[in-house]
A and B are shown apart, each in its own frame.
Chain A
Amino acid sequence: MNPGILVSSHHDSGIFELLTKGRELAKQLGLNISALVFGNVNDKKAQQYFEYGAQEVVAIPNIDPSGLDAETYSHALFELTKGNGPDIVLIGSSKLGKETAGRVAQKLQAGCVTDAIGLSTKESALVIERYSLGGNTVSTETIKTKKKVVSITPRTFEANPAPATGKVTTIDLKPPSRRLQVVERRKKAGEAVSIESAENLVCVGQGIGKKEDLAMINEFCTALKAELGCTRALSSDFHWLSEDRMVGISGKRCKPKLHVSVGISGQIQHTVGIMTSKLIVAINKDKEAPILKIADYSIVGDLYQVIPKLTERIKSGGP
């Protein structure tokens, strides 16, 4: 296996995103780049990884990608990267990936940054950005240890293929014996919303007085062709909306073209999840609310007056 950068994610989309960014970094740092793939890799699949940037695909056929756990995942990464293996490990920061990052970093005695939101190079160093102080700041960091582990927030980078070829290396690696027994896997009751990929996103917060009032917001979403997201309070505390709609540091990170924030004061733990929206509109009765400071356009007013009228106006398409 070539020294350089090793990319991994348990979702192909994550591998493609990281390979696209990784091939740019590899070029700047003068390193090789490979992708770790669990299970069998046929020619057609391998070709895909090559086109997103992998010079080499490292396949581990005897580890089943479905039901992968952090102990197995980190064991595999450690076996591939220890000693003369790749020095830089880029991992898709799903919950599994994030846990794995910490574990493999400890095995490698490596410095590690999780939930990265930016990667670049400066004078042959890998430069990493991540949120710090609860999202108040962005910390720009480098890793001093020889081995470096970074987990990257999903959808941070776009996946772009380009014609390329490479080679497949198959590795015989036994998974470690499992210490955790998964007795049941319950698919989450599926509204199956994917607010992260929504073009338009409306988020609601505690300015909404009662659950029934969400009907008014739903109508607004329909008019805007928007998905609905919310703050932690509305999902975790009040259970008015499912947790897959929660936006923020412990929820989803979204970058819609249009984001409308309704009745949300704008605590940093929430706004981290909408900071990269192209356009932000806030509707809030409090002119001092922090959300107004990060909005392009704001209406200071009672959302119960504003939303129905705004809905009508957008629906009618008139002046």
Chain B
Amino acid sequence: MSEDSLNIIVCMKQVVDLQQIRIKRDTREPVLEGLPVLFGDMDKNALEEAVRIKEKHGAKVTVVSVGSAKLKETVLEALAMGADDASIIIDPACDGSDPATTALVLAEAVGKIGSYELILVGEGSADNYSGQTGSRLAEILGIPQITYVRELSVQGNTVTAVRDMEDALEVVKTNMPLAISVTSEINKPRRAPLTQILRASRKPLNVWSLEDLGMTPDRLGSAASGIQVISNVAPEQERKGIIFEGEVDEAIAKLVDALRKEGAVS
């Protein structure tokens, strides 16, 4: 296989801007309505790495994502960052999907796109960070996966990756096709220049429904999810919330006094 024919698929997840989530005082529920949506940071690391491989070896980079109608706009940033085209799956039946059902949809989308050598994902999504979707996708497709990758190089048909484990770095080699999950250490994603953002809307964008993928809604969404969410609320905080302000020496004296009473310092 010549390197020019490399096809890289990057799976990305659209999430609400987590920094802007407010918590309702009475119910401790998060307020998600009206929040801006964006791709997660590690998803952008995955895309950046694909674009770097393309710049070095020549490749076609395709973004795949499952999400709400807003995805049509969100995906423009990915195209502006250097993806060649994108296929997004927008279908109300996907609402309430979990990693298992999302992986099923992604697998069908990958099948429809056709040939690929590399599938890149972030180590975990920005919101749930469960890390399951990539692993499940690799299982469904029957390809090996290298997780937690912080350095990646491609030579011919061989991929060499440095995996970041708790106590060691593992250098791992294997042949494509292959799935890879990256950590945020692998690169610093570029900011798309404005000119590219304007051009991005001219790049090929497929918008698919489940029907386009030959899937029926009963296999998907919250009904098919293996997970039942009982509640999702901000944890109770039982902190004292005592604040010392003003003159520094006095504030320090009060703090140390309080910590001694707590037995936290001697």
Which residues of A pack against B, CB within 8 Å? Answer: 70-71, 94-96, 98-99, 101-103, 105-107, 110-115, 127, 130-134, 136-145, 179-188, 200, 224, 232, 236, 243, 249-250, 257-258, 267-269, 275, 279-281, 287, 292-302, 305-306, 309-310, 313-314, 317, 319
The 8 Å CB contact of A319, one of B164, B171, B253, B265, is: B253
Are A140 and B232 also in contact (CB < 8 A) when A102-B99, A106-B100 are?
yes
Most buried by B among A96, A179, A249, A317: A179
The 8 Å CB contact of B139, one of A103, A224, A232, is: A103
A136 to B21, CA, bound (A): 8
Residues of A within 8 A of B241 (CB): 292-293, 295-296
The contact string, 1 if C-beta is below 8 Å from chain A, for chain B 161-180, is 00011111111111000000
B9 at the interface (CB under 8 A from A): no
Residues of A within 8 A of B136 (CB): 102-103, 105-106
Residues of A within 8 A of B215 (CB): none
Residues of A within 8 A of B196 (CB): none
Are A313 and B253 also in contact (CB < 8 A) when A105-B100, A137-B30, A236-B184 are?
yes
B228:A143 contact, CB within 8 angstroms: yes
Most buried by A among B123, B172, B225, B264: B264
**Chain B's nearest CB lies how many Å from the CB of A306?**
6
A287 to B246, CA, bound (A): 11
A296 to B244, CA, bound (A): 11
**Chain A's nearest CB lies how many Å from the CB of B117?**
15
A314:B23 contact, CB within 8 angstroms: no
A94 to B131, CA, bound (A): 12
Are A188 and B146 also in contact (CB < 8 A) when A101-B132, A299-B244 are?
no
Which secondary structure characterizes the binding site on chain A?
mixed
Residues of A within 8 A of B127 (CB): 132-134
Most buried by B among A94, A293, A298: A298
A230 to B135, CA, bound (A): 30
Q: Which residue of B lies closest to A280 (CB)?
A: B239
A116 to B103, CA, bound (A): 21
B234:A136 contact, CB within 8 angstroms: yes
Residues of B within 8 A of A113 (CB): 130, 227
Q: Which residue of B lies closest to A312 (CB)?
A: B252
B226:A314 contact, CB within 8 angstroms: no
A279:B252 contact, CB within 8 angstroms: no
Are A292 and B21 also in contact (CB < 8 A) when A112-B99, A139-B232 are?
no
B252:A106 contact, CB within 8 angstroms: no
**Chain B's nearest CB lies how many Å from the CB of A94?**
6
Q: Which residue of B lies closest to A224 (CB)?
A: B265
Residues of A within 8 A of B23 (CB): 136-137
A310:B256 contact, CB within 8 angstroms: yes
**Chain B's nearest CB lies how many Å from the CB of A312?**
9
B100:A250 contact, CB within 8 angstroms: no
B194 at the interface (CB under 8 A from A): no
B195 at the interface (CB under 8 A from A): no
B218 at the interface (CB under 8 A from A): no
Residues of B within 8 A of A269 (CB): 18
B183 at the interface (CB under 8 A from A): yes
Residues of A within 8 A of B100 (CB): 105-106, 111-112
Residues of B within 8 A of A132 (CB): 127-128, 232
Residues of A within 8 A of B255 (CB): 281, 297, 299, 310
B237 at the interface (CB under 8 A from A): yes
A182:B172 contact, CB within 8 angstroms: yes
A180:B144 contact, CB within 8 angstroms: yes
Can you sample 6 A-B contacts with CB below 8 Å?
A: A70-B145, A102-B135, A139-B232, A141-B228, A293-B239, A306-B251
B253:A188 contact, CB within 8 angstroms: no
Besides A134-B21, A138-B233, A301-B248, 17 other A-B contacts (C-beta < 8 A): A95-B164, A105-B132, A111-B226, A133-B128, A134-B129, A138-B232, A141-B229, A180-B174, A182-B170, A182-B172, A188-B168, A292-B241, A294-B237, A295-B241, A300-B243, A300-B251, A305-B248
A319 to B265, CA, bound (A): 12
Are A111 and B249 also in contact (CB < 8 A) when A188-B168, A279-B262, A294-B239 are?
no
